[in-house]
Amino acid sequence: MSRNSRKGKNRNAKVPANRPAPAKRAHPAGALLEAMDGYSNAAAFLGDDSPLLSSGTFVRSSLTGQTELLTTAYRVSWLAKRIIDMPSEDMTRAWYSLTAAIPREDLVLLRRLEARHSVRQEIANAIRWSRLYGGALALIVLRGEENALDQPLDPDILLPGCFQGLLVLDRAQGIEPSAELVSDLDDPDFGLPMYYTADLEAEGRAVRIHPSRVLRFVGRELPAAEMIRENYWGASELEHIWEELQKRSAASANIAQLIFQANITTLKMGNFGEHITFGEEAVRDQLFRAIASENRLRTSYGLQVLSAGDSLENHAYSFGGLSEIYESFMMDMAGAAEIPATKLFGRSPQGLNATGESDLRNYYDMIAQMQERLLRPALERLLPVLAVSCWGYIPDDLDFVFEPVMTASPAERAELIQKLSADVIQAFQCGLLTREQALEELKSRGEDLGVYTKIREGEDREQLPHLFENEK
Q: Give the pLDDT band of residue 337 (cuts 50, 70, 90).
A: very high
Shared domain check, 199 and 82: yes
pLDDT at position 1 is 46
Whether pTM > 0.75 for this model: the answer is: no
Shared domain check, 312 and 460: no
Alpha-carbon span 132 to 238, nearest angstrom = 7
pLDDT tens track for 160-182: 999 999 999 999 888 899 999 99
Q: Give the pLDDT band of residue 472 (cuts 50, 70, 90).
A: very low
Shared domain check, 213 and 302: no
pLDDT tens track for 113-131: 999 999 999 999 999 999 9
Closest CA to 135 of 211, 242, 58, 59: 211
* CA torsion angle 181 183 184 186 (round to 10): 80
pLDDT at position 383 is 96
User: Residue 85 falls within a domain, yes or no?
Assistant: yes
Closest CA to 338 of 252, 244, 250, 406: 244
Q: Do residues 170 and 70 lie in contact, with contact meaning Cβ atoms separated by under 8 Å? A: no
SS (H, E, C) the chain: CCHHHHHHHHHHCCCCCCCCCCCCCCCCCCCCCCCCCCCEECCCCEECCCHHHHCCCCCCCCHHHCHHHHHHHHHHCHHHHHHHHHHHHHHHHCCEEECCCCCHHHHHHHHHHHHHCCHHHHHHHHHHHHHHHCEEEEEEEECCCCCCCCCCCCHHHCCCCCEEEEEEEEHHHCCEECCCECCCCCCCCCCCECCEEEECCCCCCEEEECHHHEEEEECECCCHHHHHHCCCCCECCCCCCHHHHHHHHHHHHHHHHHHHCCEEEEEECCCHHHHHHHCCHHHHHHHHHHHHHHHHHHHHHCCCCCCCCCEEEEEECCCCCHHHHHHHHHHHHHHHHCCCHHHHCCCCCCCCCCCCHHHHHHHHHHHHHHHHHHHHHHHHHHHHHHHHHHHCCCCCCCCEEECCCCCCCHHHHHHHHHHHHHHHHHHHHCCCCCHHHHHHHHHHHHCCCCCCCCCCCCCCHHHCHHHHCCCC
Window from 50-64, 98-112, 121-135, 264-278 with minimum mean pLDDT: 264-278
User: Residue 397 falls within a domain, yes or no?
Assistant: no
pLDDT tens track for 7-62: 444 444 444 445 445 444 444 544 444 555 677 777 777 777 777 777 778 888 78
Instruction: Tell me the mean pLDDT in the region 389-410.
Output: 86
Alpha-carbon distance values, 46 to 37, 42, 49, 58 (Å): 13, 7, 5, 20
pLDDT at 233 over 80: yes
Q: Do residues 445 and 420 lie in contact, with contact meaning Cβ atoms separated by under 8 Å? A: yes
pLDDT at 454 over 50: yes
Across the chain, mean pLDDT equals 81
Residues 6+ apart with CB under 8 A from 349: 342, 355, 356, 359
Residues 6+ apart with CB under 8 A from 127: 87, 88, 91, 92, 136, 217, 374, 375
pLDDT at position 298 is 66
Shared domain check, 303 and 269: yes
Q: Give the pLDDT band of residue 159 (cuts 50, 70, 90).
A: very high
pLDDT at 353 over 50: no
Q: Do residues 290 and 305 lie in contact, with contact meaning Cβ atoms separated by under 8 Å? A: no
pLDDT tens track for 296-314: 766 655 666 666 677 777 7
User: Residue 323 falls within a domain, yes or no?
Assistant: no
pLDDT at position 400 is 93
Instruction: Tell me the mean pLDDT in the region 316-343.
Output: 85
User: Residue 325 falls within a domain, yes or no?
Assistant: no
Shared domain check, 127 and 179: yes
pLDDT at position 177 is 93
pLDDT at 241 over 90: yes
Shared domain check, 307 and 185: no
Shared domain check, 195 and 122: yes
pLDDT at position 253 is 87
Of 199, 223, 238, the position where a domain reaches its end is 238
pLDDT at position 56 is 77
* Burial of residue 145 (number of CB atoms within 10 Å: 0-12, 13-18, 19+): middle
Q: Give the pLDDT band of residue 466 (cuts 50, 70, 90).
A: low
User: Residue 84 falls within a domain, yes or no?
Assistant: yes
Shared domain check, 281 and 160: no
Of 238, 272, 305, the position where a domain reaches its end is 238
pLDDT at 315 over 80: no
User: Residue 157 falls within a domain, yes or no?
Assistant: yes
Alpha-carbon span 70 to 238, nearest angstrom = 8
Most confident segment among 25-34, 100-109, 444-453: 100-109
User: Residue 354 falls within a domain, yes or no?
Assistant: no
Shared domain check, 443 and 307: no
Shared domain check, 228 and 183: yes
Structural domain for 289, as ranges: 263-316
Q: Give the pLDDT band of residue 216 (cuts 50, 70, 90).
A: very high
Shared domain check, 276 and 159: no
User: Residue 388 falls within a domain, yes or no?
Assistant: no
pLDDT at position 42 is 78
Instruction: Tell me the mean pLDDT in the region 366-379.
Output: 94
Shared domain check, 275 and 127: no
* Burial of residue 237 (number of CB atoms within 10 Å: 0-12, 13-18, 19+): buried
Our count of domains for the chain comes to 3
pLDDT at 465 over 90: no
